[in-house]
Amino acid sequence: MTLSLQSILYPLSALCAAVIMYSLVGWLLKRPSAYARALEDFALDPLANQPAEAPLGSPAYKLRLAFAGFGLQVHGREKRYHYLAISALALMLILVSALLALPPLFWLGGPVVSYFVINNLVDGSWDRLCREMEKEIPAFLMNLASVIQLNPNLLQALEDAALSLDPQGKLRPWIGRLATKLQAHGRQGLDEMQAEAQAISPSLALVLVEIGRLWETGGPGFAHSFQLVSENLSGIQEGRMKAYARAGGAWYW
């Protein structure tokens, strides 16, 4: 039985090593300057520099976001790096099991464990991005509700309200993209950003519904209505953030 398992595990280890070497050779053959330039563009604004084939919230986008956190730029090679990371971790776990003289049955758990670990890291990066954007929604709503009373021009009001947000945050560049989409593409741009908002947060999707109504309807009466909705949404969002904080503290203890 032991010999039969080893006859499977040794080729598996060799296959993992081959996949790793193949990916490393492919990476080394690329021009370093191109990698550095693309990574710099992504770091400046990860939400605004995504190619059309990887919309926000898609599996490819989540992989790019996760690997960017480790300083790697994987545009166009998301699956390759995904499999490479799983294979590298699986190989490491297999080697550790072998060095510790664990039964071969433990070796089989390496690929399974590595698959779940890497996918959890990817999902965790996306969840952190969404949570960071959600935290800024109440402040943005209050700012926009105040600005819209003074400036009925929605596009300018969006830009003015976004100026008070954290320059290093994720919501500010997204609001800038929203204003640009509305100005350049009208209703089509609003629909595209609505789809992105739904992928990020239900609260942000609701905010965009109200912004869309204000943009299409306008008028001082609707601006006042928007202010009331903004205040209600801000209160709900602040309550959610406090609940998240209490839940995190309870989990920690």
Task: Give the model confidence (pLDDT) of 169-202 as tens digits.
Answer: 889 999 999 999 998 888 899 998 998 898 888 8
Residue 85 pLDDT exceeds 50: yes
Q: Same domain, yes or no, for 122 and 144?
A: no
Q: What's the chain's average pLDDT?
A: 75
Q: Which domain holds residue 164?
A: 130-252
3-state secondary structure of 252: helix
Q: Same domain, yes or no, for 120 and 200?
A: no
The last residue of a domain, from among 110, 128, 146:
128
Q: Same domain, yes or no, for 211 and 233?
A: yes
Q: At CA 106, angle to CA 105 and CA 108, rounded to 5?
A: 70
Instruction: Find out whether 92 and 111 touch, Cβ atoms under 8 Å.
Output: no
Q: Which two tokens stand for residue 224?
A: 């006042």
Looking up tokens 């190989």, which residue turns up? 91
pTM metric for this prediction: 0.66
Question: Of 189 and 213, which is predicted with more confidence?
Answer: 189
Task: Give the model confidence (pLDDT) of 94-147 as tens digits.
Answer: 888 778 877 777 777 778 888 999 999 999 999 988 888 888 888 888 888 888
Supply the pLDDT for residue 211.
85
The last residue of a domain, from among 128, 160, 176:
128
* Residue 147 CB contacts under 8 Å (≥ 6 apart), including other chains: 157, 160, 161
Report the number of distinct structural domains present in the chain.
2
The last residue of a domain, from among 113, 128, 143:
128
Supply the pLDDT for residue 119.
92
